[in-house]
Amino acid sequence: MSIKRTSSYTHAEDTHLCHIYLDVSQNPIIGIYQSKDMFWARVENDYNNNKPDFITELRNKRSLQCRMQTILSAIGKFRGCLRQIETLKPSGASEADIVSIC
């Protein structure tokens, strides 16, 4: 049995995945009371059925989980960097200045 490896995620696919992830996780009716498997089944379904025309690749649940884990890890590192800089309280630094340091 040969498993075909899909192409890397594009910036547009990452953005689409983040929007879907937030939509499914913040659903006030079923967002809190769903199992992990049901959550990722909904993410997979919404991702593949609501993607823009320029995104042609269909992604499976496992692929979406792995990619979102990578994105969340990067977000965590970025937030940690911001916290360290904010703790220094640089005088006169705007939010844009702080973000550019990271």
pLDDT of residue 4: 62
When divided into structural domains, the chain yields a total of: 1
56: left (phi over 0), alpha (psi -120 to 50) or beta: alpha
pLDDT of residue 33: 74
pLDDT of residue 48: 96
Look up the domain containing 58 and give its range. 11-101
pLDDT of residue 64: 96
In a domain, residue 4? The reply is no
Nearby residues of 16 by Cβ (< 8 Å), 6 or more positions away:
47, 51, 52, 55
pLDDT tens, per residue, the chain with 102 residues:
555 666 799 999 999 999 999 999 888 777 677 788 999 999 999 999 999 999 888 999 999 999 999 999 999 999 998 888 878 776 777 778 777 776
